[in-house]
Amino acid sequence: MMLMLGDFAVTMGAKASFGAGRVERRFLDENEFNRLYARTARPLTAYVRRLTGDPEATRDLVQEAYLRILRARVPVMDEKQTTSYLYRIASRLVQDRWRHQGVDRRWREQLPAPTSSRGGDRDSALDLDRVLERLRPRDRAVVWLAYVEGRRHAEIAEILGLKPASVRVLLFRARRKLVDVLTTEGLAPEA
């Protein structure tokens, strides 16, 4: 079966087994992919958007993540594992983008001047964007996965290729940085 994804055609449904004692690997079939896409398109796009801060790059990276999972012979996994695998692909694509473009250093230079607007949902969303952009990329990813998507430490570790104990430490440090940024931006809750 052939599936069109953007300008790419991908053959689906092929299975492969790589010998005794090895994990069976196969391509996702069309129904599996459609269920995966329906379940993950919005949250994955939001996750990548928060990491990149760039709508155009987000579209490209999300499309590439789906394309890669379609082209890959993946181990037989349940829905949750497949979702984590997809997020890991997307996370690595974002990391590659940062590495190749030096985005982390340039973000701080391109930030708009701080304002202390506190009205309405739109202002709150802009404040959240500005605060998250002040975090390092990995910290932003950990915070997003933990507090927006509600993922457990083990899931975050799997997605980002970290040890579960490292996630706990990274979250602690990221929360501390968030408090500093919120205080600097005048957005910290009043005591």
pLDDT at 86: 95
CA angle 161, 97, 126 (to 5 degrees): 95
CA dist 14 and 27 (Å) reads: 6
Strand ranges, E, within the chain: 2-5, 8-11, 15-16, 25-26, 74-75
pLDDT at 39: 95
Ramachandran bin of 74, using left for φ above 0, alpha for ψ from -120 to 50, beta for the remaining angles: beta
Report the top-level CATH class of 1-110.
Answer: mainly alpha
Q: Which range is least confidently modeled, 107-111, 119-123, 145-149, 170-174?
A: 107-111
Q: Is the pLDDT of residue 60 over 50?
A: yes
Q: Domain coordinates of the chain in residue numbers? A: 1-110, 113-191
Q: Provide the b/e sequence for 134-161 (b: ≥16 CB within 10 Å).
A: bbebbbbbbbbbbeeeebebebbbbbbe
Question: Is pTM, for the whole model, over 0.75?
Answer: no
With bands split at pLDDT 50, 70 and 90, how would you rate the model's confidence at 130?
A: confident
23 or 137, which is more confident?
137
DSSP string, 57-84: HHHHHHHHHHHHHHHS-EEP--HHHHHH
Across the range 98-109, mean pLDDT stands at: 58
CA dist 138 and 136 (Å) reads: 6
Q: What is the pLDDT of residues 32-46, one digit of tens each?
A: 999 999 999 999 999
With bands split at pLDDT 50, 70 and 90, how would you rate the model's confidence at 172?
A: very high
Q: Is the pLDDT of residue 114 over 60?
A: no
Percent of the chain with pLDDT over 90: 39
Cβ burial, residue 118 (10 Å; 0-12/13-18/19+) = exposed
Asked if residue 136 lies in contact with residue 104, where contact means CB atoms within 8 angstroms, the answer is yes
- From the options 1.10.10.10, 3.30.1490.20, 1.10.260.40, 2.130.10.10, give the CATH code of 113-191: 1.10.10.10
CA angle 83, 21, 84 (to 5 degrees): 10
Q: Is the pLDDT of residue 76 over 80?
A: yes
Across the range 60-76, mean pLDDT stands at: 92
